[in-house]
Homo-oligomer: A and B are copies of this chain.
Amino acid sequence: MNGPARTADATSFGAYVRERREARRAADRSYSVRQVAARLGIEPSYLSKVERGQVPPPSEDTVVRLAEVLGEDADVLLALAGKVSTDLKDVIRRRPRLFADLIRELRDLPDRAVLRLVREVRDGDW
């Protein structure tokens, strides 16, 4: 049974979104809770509660739209929401043995090693 320790940190997700939205707002008054909510197609009161961590982070779709509106990286925002993009999960699901092994192998390696791998794959002829 999964305990509550596994739930996403609603507070840090919300705080981050609020901070980013407020930053945008300083330059563009249209980044109010109400108008951003309207762009996302959700209720203002709901976005308000999300930003204050009063409710858990929204669904994947909503988080992705939020990232677009705020000009943030969707994968990072999803991570803060305790989620992983469906298209990444699909990659693993299609070849579970291969990708499960690889990811577990890389789990404890430092950023620079993983980064080196990314570049190697991108530049080499694989």
Residues of chain A at interface, number, CB under 8 A: 44
A residues 52-104 touching B (CB-CB < 8 Å)? 61, 73, 75-76, 78-79, 82-89, 91-104
Q: How far is the CA of A98 from the CA of B97 in the complex (A)?
A: 20
Enumerate chain B residues within 8 angstroms of A126, measured Cβ to Cβ. Answer: 109, 113
Given contacts A111-B98, A113-B126, A115-B98, contact A91 B103 (CB under 8 A): yes
Contact B99 A103 (CB under 8 A): yes
Whole-angstrom distance between the Cβ of A30 and the nearest chain B Cβ: 26
Contact B93 A79 (CB under 8 A): yes
Given contacts A102-B118, A117-B102, A121-B105, contact A92 B96 (CB under 8 A): no
Identify A114's interface contact among B78, B86, B102, CB under 8 A: B102
Additional A-B contact list (10), CB under 8 Å, known A84-B84, A88-B92: A6-B86, A82-B93, A84-B93, A91-B104, A91-B106, A95-B114, A98-B115, A99-B114, A102-B114, A105-B122
